[in-house]
Amino acid sequence: MSLDPATAESLLAFWAEGGVDAMLLDAPVDRIAAGKIAPPAPPARKAAVAAPPPSPLRAASQPDVSAAVAQAQALAASADSLEALAAAIAGFDGCPLKFEGAATQAVVWRGEPTAPLMVIGEGPGADEDRQGQPFVGRAGQLLDKMLAAAGLTGRVLITNTVFWRPPGNRTPTPQEQAVCAPFVERAIALVQPKMLLLVGGASAKAMLRKDEGILSMRGRWHEWRSADGTLELPALPTLHPAFLLRQPAAKKRAWADLLTLTERLDRPERTSAP
């Protein structure tokens, strides 16, 4: 009796679910005798084909930011004030975020131009893009409250690693951060803070050039150095306030980081004996 494929498949599934794992043949088979017959030799393997070299099109898809970085370095070096630096950033077209994510304007910084502490986040969001200032949304409001509770109101200048909103508020890429890095370094040189507070994993990784996660870096002092090695400052990574809004239990760790920073910031400077 022959069965159509659908019926046969249904029967096999029924037997399998019932625990049947073997099938008897109509005629007996001498398995011992069959085992004495040498199995046929396996077919010869084909020689491995070498992988083709990467195509020029694939290589071209990787962004080359060297020219944009060089342009940013030249513009940043020519700025002798924060106002001039902000104008240079606004006129800079080398960062693709200016045309991909930003809807209105460059978001540079807010706060005191001679602050002893610089807070550096990841990138602006929708609220920041509309208002032209960093950290003004819900995360920024929480950051301001924490800074005020730590006695840091009026003692900070707040900025980001990139100055235009990434599409969909995604994390900025290392290439986008590299293009904006000369402007960030020039801002640090003009403000001359005593130390840096790096907010969020993307900021800490970019500024410290490390691949560690923020949970392992936070709460520990690191040394930030400029690309040319002329600037060096203590830097403390901490959790991003947007993360704290999603994980309120982590606020105590961020608060401990702020206390650590404030203690060092207010520590009396040693003076050499006359």
Mean pLDDT of 231-253: 97
pLDDT at residue 237 above 70?
yes
Q: What is the pLDDT of residue 59?
A: 40
Across the chain, mean pLDDT equals: 87
For residues 153 and 111, what is the distance between their CA atoms, to the nearest angstrom? Answer: 9
Q: How confident is the model over 148-177, as a mean pLDDT?
A: 97
Q: Give 155-168 pLDDT, tens digit per residue.
A: 999 999 999 999 99
Dump pLDDT digits (tens) for 38-82.
666 666 665 545 545 544 444 444 568 999 999 999 999 999 999
pLDDT above 70: percentage of residues in the chain: 75
Superfamily for domain range 65-265? Uracil-DNA glycosylase-like domain (3.40.470.10)
pLDDT > 90? residue 18: no
pLDDT higher than threshold 60 for residue 20 = no
Q: Please give the pLDDT value at position 156.
A: 98
pLDDT at 114: 96
Q: 104 pLDDT exceeds 50?
A: yes
pLDDT of 123: 97
Whether the pLDDT of residue 135 is over 50: the answer is: yes
Give the rounded percent of residues in the chain with a pLDDT score beyond 90. Answer: 71
CA gap 215, 206 in Å, rounded: 15
